[in-house]
């Protein structure tokens, strides 16, 4: 196909599975490939954004990094949906908790994604688009969490363009029931909607905005395995 390899993914058509599990940190994707997949084969290393395809319980699946922020995940997911025939993308990422009932290691299934980004302006809609998850994936993920006894919540997250904010608005988002803040779900959900594909974001609480609790980069890379299990259960 004329559009591949793309500028950001050095793979041929067919080397990437129809379901891709993505993580912001490419080393988390590599960890998943090495610890969960059978016979993983690397298909991408452009800009260090590692991607692998293997099998999970006999089902073909790919794992790949997407980088930090809406512009980065926007590029990778657009190329996967529109050039590589990917049907489903599941993000396994970290998030900072707004909800006082959430704790480090808890899961948040992002039913919707608020944003302070202008990403949606490109679609020229005569109003505000509400980015949401694919319901079938969301329902299956929640059912799996229940069966496994994982601590989780389902609800709204904030996809922010700003990590170090000069004017944090934590309390305003919290008052509206937003559970946690991350940086990518909005773009993934919008790209999936535009392409007519499926997407779900599963976040692990890596820090708590209200209490100041934090995890290390090593913990975020290698110990957030519950969300990986949930994602793989959807393949």
What residues are labeled active site?
Answer: 207
What's the Cα-to-Cα distance from 86 to each of 62, 99, 168, 195, 208, rounded to whole Å? 10, 33, 36, 10, 33
CB 66 within 8 A of CB 76: yes
152-159 and 107-115 beta bridge pairing: parallel
> In whole angstroms, what is the distance from residue 41 CA to residue 55 CA?
10
Angle made by CA atoms 185, 186, 191, in degrees to the nearest 5: 100
CB 78 within 8 A of CB 191: yes
CB 43 within 8 A of CB 49: no
Helix (H, G, I), strand (E, B) or coil at 180: strand
């Amino acid at each position: 196909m004329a559009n591949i390899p793309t500028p950001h993914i050095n793979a041929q058509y067919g080397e990437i599975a129809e379901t891709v599990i993505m993580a912001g940190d490419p080393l988390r994707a590599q960890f998943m490939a090495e610890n969960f997949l059978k016979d993983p084969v690397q298909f991408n290393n452009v800009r260090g954004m590692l991607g692998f395809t293997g099998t999970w319980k006999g089902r073909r699946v790919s794992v790949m990094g997407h980088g930090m922020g809406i512009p980065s995940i926007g590029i990778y997911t657009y190329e996967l949906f529109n050039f590589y025939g990917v049907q489903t993308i599941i993000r396994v990422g970290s998030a900072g908790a707004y909800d006082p009932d959430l704790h480090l290691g808890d899961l948040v299934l992002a039913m919707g994604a608020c944003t302070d980004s202008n990403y949606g302006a490109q679609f020229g809609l005569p109003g505000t688009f509400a980015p949401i998850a694919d319901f079938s994936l969301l329902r299956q993920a929640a059912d799996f969490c229940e069966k496994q006894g994982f601590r989780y919540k389902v609800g709204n997250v904030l996809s922010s363009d700003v990590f170090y904010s000069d004017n944090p608005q934590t309390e305003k988002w919290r008052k509206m029931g937003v559970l946690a803040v991350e940086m990518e779900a909005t773009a993934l959900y919008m790209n999936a909607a535009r392409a007519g594909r499926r997407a779900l974001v599963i976040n692990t609480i890596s820090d708590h905005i209200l209490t100041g609790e934090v995890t290390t980069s090593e913990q975020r890379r290698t110990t957030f395995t519950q969300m990986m299990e949930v994602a793989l259960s959807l393949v």
